[in-house]
């Protein structure tokens, strides 16, 4: 499943960089609503416990990842004359997820392969993101294998009727997706269950079971039982800590020598700066063009202008599949 801890921590790091006036505004709800930082990944967890919805949700995920985040911001902000702090928190969490993906995904894709067009690479992509969760926990002093990741999801987080109405209106207008507020509401329940039964594995028993099932399920259905249990060191070899110049996997251009930690720090700063200006714009009832100037229209998949045709031609094939290293 998609990385959970990384986005959760980034959301809190963004808050800590906010100017004092914005911190004060959100101090009672930011941590409570941090689950909103899971952005479009919420649909994966919703899908996990709603198998009949899998075809529809898979279609939506691709659209949400790669299309018109700028238009969503415009439609969301323009849906009401006055936004509550809660409705802002939803938008800010959603944007934080999208733009952190845009920064971090190229390195993850480079290390794990073309997850959009290759089943094995999709498995490796999710495994690497699980390794990154463990890495972030270890950095913060937690034991990744004993950490109760499901406790990151609040027991009973609900959104106000007004916020849900704004969500429905803006996502319907932007993506023609109906009742997204219901999906987000059910996610809160589903995520706790999924993370409890699939991610919390202090003795590594589930890891052994999943690996055994993967030998059968993976071959028959090209599907993995992800994720596995990690101690926080497995991701290190994939972080580009030696600052090697890596071409962007989409087109081989835009050489970057940044490590994962450096990209993460850049992402936190960029997102904080954007949301700080966006908060002022919302309060000042900014015109549409002002919103478009603040929110770049880039894809969460690869960080390029949205609508780019996603065909990776220069992705380095890992010498060993991450699945085999797990």
| Alpha-carbon distance values, 77 to 32, 54, 95, 172, 314 (Å) | 22, 30, 12, 14, 38
Can you point out the beta strands (E) in 22-161? Answer: none
H-type helices in 215-259, by residue range? 219-221
State residue 103's pLDDT score: 94
What's the predicted TM-score (pTM) here? Answer: 0.89
Q: Structural domain of residue 277, as residue ranges?
A: 5-325
Number of folded domains in the chain?
1
Q: How far apart are CA 188 and CA 326, in angstroms?
A: 29
- SS3 for 137? helix
Q: How far apart are CA 86 and CA 196, in angstroms?
A: 27
What mean pLDDT do residues 214-240 have? 75
- Supply the DSSP string of 96-121, one letter for each residue: HHHHHHHHHHHHHHHHH--TTT-HHH
Spatial contact of 4 and 195, defined as CB atoms under 8 Å apart: yes
Q: What are phi and psi of 190, to 5 degrees?
A: -65, -40
pLDDT level of residue 326 (50, 70, 90 thresholds):
very low
pLDDT level of residue 185 (50, 70, 90 thresholds):
confident
Highest mean pLDDT among 89-93, 225-229, 314-318: 89-93
Q: Which helix (H) or strand (E) holds 275?
A: helix 260-283
For the chain, give the percent of residues with pLDDT over 70: 86
> What is the residue-averaged pLDDT of the chain?
83
Spatial contact of 144 and 231, defined as CB atoms under 8 Å apart: yes
């Amino acid at each position: 499943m998609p990385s959970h801890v990384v986005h959760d921590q980034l959301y809190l790091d963004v808050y800590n960089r906010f100017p004092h006036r914005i911190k004060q505004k959100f101090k009672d709800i930011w941590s409570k609503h941090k689950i909103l930082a899971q952005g479009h990944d919420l649909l994966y967890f919703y899908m996990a416990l709603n198998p009949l919805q899998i075809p529809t949700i898979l279609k939506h995920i691709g659209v949400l990842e790669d299309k018109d985040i700028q238009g969503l911001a415009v439609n969301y902000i323009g849906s009401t004359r006055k936004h509550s702090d809660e409705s802002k928190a939803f938008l800010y969490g959603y944007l934080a997820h999208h733009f952190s993906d845009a920064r971090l995904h190229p390195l993850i894709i480079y290390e794990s392969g073309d997850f959009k067009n290759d089943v094995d690479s999709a498995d490796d992509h999710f495994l690497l993101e699980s390794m990154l969760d463990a890495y972030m926990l270890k950095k913060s002093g937690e034991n990744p294998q004993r950490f109760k990741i499901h406790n990151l999801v609040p027991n009973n987080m609900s959104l106000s009727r007004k916020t849900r109405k704004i969500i429905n209106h803006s996502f319907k207008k932007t993506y023609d997706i109906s009742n997204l507020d219901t999906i987000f509401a059910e996610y809160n329940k589903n995520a706790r269950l999924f993370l409890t039964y699939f991610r919390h594995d202090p003795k590594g028993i589930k890891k052994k079971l999943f690996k055994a099932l993967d030998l059968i399920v993976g071959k028959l259905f090209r599907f993995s039982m992800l994720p596995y249990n990690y101690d926080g060191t497995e991701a290190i070899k994939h972080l580009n800590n030696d600052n090697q110049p890596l071409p962007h996997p989409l087109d081989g251009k835009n050489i970057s020598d940044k490590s994962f930690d450096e990209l993460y720090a850049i992402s936190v700063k960029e997102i904080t700066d954007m949301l700080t200006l966006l908060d002022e714009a919302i309060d000042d009832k900014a015109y549409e063009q002002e919103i478009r100037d603040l929110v770049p229209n880039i894809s969460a998949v690869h960080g390029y202008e949205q609508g780019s045709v996603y065909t990776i031609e220069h992705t380095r094939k890992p010498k060993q599949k991450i699945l085999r290293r797990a």
